[in-house]
Structure 1
């Protein structure tokens, strides 16, 4: 039933605590999975106090468990162990705390852990967190390298020494964290976010040496995987050895087989780069020398050509060719003129032969009537006494027609003389 209260009639704390306890006590037993932390065994008490942590949501729940149940698990009941517990929620009104009264604890064995990791891997892959398209390539020479690793660990030494051996001027920003146990996930996430906020850090290396599957479980934690996916800086995973494959390897931008391999992947080798520069310089020199030799041979070949070896010879040849063309043109024009002149003389001779003046030169005369200038072709055209003009080759003279045709005949006949 809902409790009734008001500012004038508030409820006492005991009433609220009893109501909460009554409601919680109605809940049945449930199976819960999580990570054990803060295991407290007090001498003389038959109850062991534990904390069950959810590494994804960073939520914890207090557990109370009979000592006999915990002792039955043996060495498996340690901080950081992944377990499944069966218990009933209970509320303690006196302290106002909620706990889970555990009656059974089952450690997750290797097979169960692998199955759960595979299920988580499929879930994260389906969300696209492992897609190759979202992976970033670290810069060739980072301004600073972020390093997340255990304190004074072999992994730290491998990364730092190899990175400085390859590039002595490399700057490394270190964050030392727990790399196993219940605190590892939270500390690695905090260090990752801190380094991700430093502008000079261009790549972050998360490194740890080898270990058992349980030791490497923090690097398959869902919360850590999502934190790496959300980072804006490229992340290199260097966890364990070649055969180890935590989920961090799948979400990281670069997977290194070992911490030493991570150092090789984040900074270049100065000796290799120097040798590469020398090789490229020699190759460039050979290419340039080959090109210059090729061009020099081309110039020699061009200079050996007649046009460049003896340019006057070609000019002389062209002069001779022009002279020949000019002489040929002159002969052609002369021939045309000669032929035209012959044709003109022939035409002139023809015209002269056909000209009336030539007929007059042979002794013929042309008779004109002086009155009208008409040419007399018949004696009947002339009457006695008509004034006539007689035209001969040398000129013309006047004449007068005689009486009758008999007198005119000598004139006509005279034209033949």
Structure 2
């Protein structure tokens, strides 16, 4: 048995190591501390650990930890960052693991530092000298903001395995598909002036009214054009998240910005949607004598879909007793699929607790999740497999 800390000790240390990622610089932090902890523990278990710094992002890195050899195998993947937290709304210190009411509280308990602790604790009781195929533990950076860690892996073409599980909180339900997401900004530049004479300027808010009207029509068209009954919300959605414009009631608004997201169904193309939206703007720009710009807030995340007939999805349905489902939130799943792995999302805890004050993982999720982890390792790493036959 490897000499690594207990499950609770590992989770406590991970939670106590801040690793917030955010588009706002005042919140954004390095994930190096979390990577260092995982690297140390995994090395003690016999893994070969490679830390991959992200280009042009000091203090941000991925970890690929591998044990065993072969052309198949399994990746157990998670992200090392958390979202920011609401100061004053936590009942306890978000960076201190706290147990009460059969729950473990702390920032990242379910989303998703706790997953790594469960994986490591499971591995301590397994004989990893008998692996027939590789087992890879993958820890990524910046999933909660730009997903730059997963994007960097795609550019590197690594890691390679046959199957992958991402331990995001799904209440132990296998997830085989989710919508994509685009986050966009429309900026309108008009001309300010004294409000007593509208002819002195070009009102950017008036122009934005016309833009939003067109986007609402486009949104309704998408709802009519695209459906997927496997999703609870079975159509693509567009949300107007925030709008900023003007500075005083008695001045013509010279500038206005709208930020929105669009969540597309599997099979829809984010770039095609972007160009459809862009094509709506020149006519409004000309009619309002303004300048209208459409730009990405973040690079888009493609939709994710693994066939329900995939072996790993069938295996996880058997291990959990739950049929595979879909979700609306985005994960790193499409990027692991791009690396050639049959991927599903399955983890302890609920998305309802993620991104919330007093985030927690219920204690009764731990043993069932460890049973899933153990079962997948036994099936894909400890059992001899003829990978070439399987791929035919």
User: Normalising by the residue count of structure 2, what TM-score does the alignment of the two structures yield?
Assistant: 0.18
Instruction: Work out which structure has the larger RCO, using CA pairs closer than 8 Å and 6 or more positions apart in sequence.
Output: 2
More helix by share: 1
Q: Name which one, 1 or 2, has greater alpha-carbon Rg.
A: 1
